[in-house]
Amino acid sequence: MKHTKFERILIKGHPTINERWVQDRIAEDPSILGLGDLILKDKERAHPRAGRLDLLLQDADTNRRFEVEVQLGATDESHIIRTIEYWDIERKRYPQYEHTAVIVAEDITSRFLNVISLFNGMIPLVALQMSVLKNSEEIGLVFTKVIDHLTLGLVDEDEEVHESTDRSYWELVGSKQSLSLTDQLLNLARKHDPELELKYNKFYIGLAKDGQPQNFIIFRPKKNFLRFAPRLSKSSKIQQRLEEAGLDVMEYDVRDGRYRIRLQPGDVEKHKAILEEIIAEAHLAASD
């Protein structure tokens, strides 16, 4: 494979490339941001007394929207405030959607990272560092994720403040057959940590080790099936693998960052290989 040297171009102050050019490239193909299969909902979206939102994007398969602000040069206070303000306006105007603020800049400064850390995860925000690379007469945009969307854990999962239950409770809510599927998946998870145990909570069955939650996978037994939910970032490749394996994949849980898979009796053995892979990936992601 031949190696090609690229030259990085700074857009701010460039004679022909400007912010509008960047917006147009993203609008043409929002997937270049690396945030999934997105579609353009609006561009230069007017907000009364608050200026214009550069780009409003939406996930093609879910109700998640992205409020995108593009900035040339280094991040500064005004753009941080503007990005958050647009996000806040959109989420209040359209509460039926999950909203994520996205700031795109040529230089994500350490000061910016420090400021964002003060919000302590209360604002779902993604920061992308943008580079323009030139090769001969061709140029391309590259986006590097510096801050990822922080998914806030649900209280009933990671803080055991809700009523604990036992296996008999879940036999009534679900069935012995669906609980048997839970046991089979626990055995697959124990390949990564033999000390894992089932933790019976009121709204789900999780995993625990030495009394501490290890909820990289959780379970919700029903009468006729088991809802299996591994925590993994949404990925078209993972989605494709699950579907090609013949699994019954439900809508992705954006709020908790989980895939939801409906398993019937016999499915764990039938799909053992792909389930082992998914559990391994969820365990690894939780360890990072």
Q: What is the 3-state secondary structure (H, E, C) of 31-53?
A: HHHCCCCEEEEEEEEEECCCEEE
Q: Which residues pair with 142 in a beta bridge?
A: 131
- Angle in degrees, CA 233, 150, 90, rounded to 5: 105
Which token pair is 255?
A: 């709020």
Residue 117: the pLDDT is 64
Residue 227: the pLDDT is 95
Q: pLDDT tens digits, residue range 251-260? A: 888 778 899 9
Average pLDDT of the chain to the nearest whole number: 86
Q: pLDDT tens digits, residue range 232-241? A: 998 889 999 9
Give the confidence band of 199 by pLDDT, cuts at 50, 70, 90.
Answer: very high
Which token pair is 1?
A: 């494979």
Residue of 140, 154, 69 lying closest to 108 (CA atoms) = 69
User: How are beta strands 217-221 and 226-230 bridged, if at all?
Assistant: antiparallel
Q: How far apart are CA 259 and CA 236, in angstroms?
A: 12
Phi/psi at 276 (5° precision): -60, -40
Q: pLDDT tens digits, residue range 129-158? A: 888 888 877 888 888 888 776 544 444 444
For 235-249, letters b (16+ CB in 10 Å) and e give eeebbeebeebebeb
Residue 6: the pLDDT is 78
Q: How far apart are CA 54 and CA 70, in angstroms?
A: 7
Q: How far apart are CA 38 and CA 30, in angstroms?
A: 6
51: left (phi over 0), alpha (psi -120 to 50) or beta: left
Residue of 77, 75, 131, 69 lying closest to 108 (CA atoms) = 75
Domains along the chain?
A: 7-147 (3.40.1350.10), 155-287 (3.90.1150.200)
Give the torsion sign (CA, 24, 28, 73, 13): negative
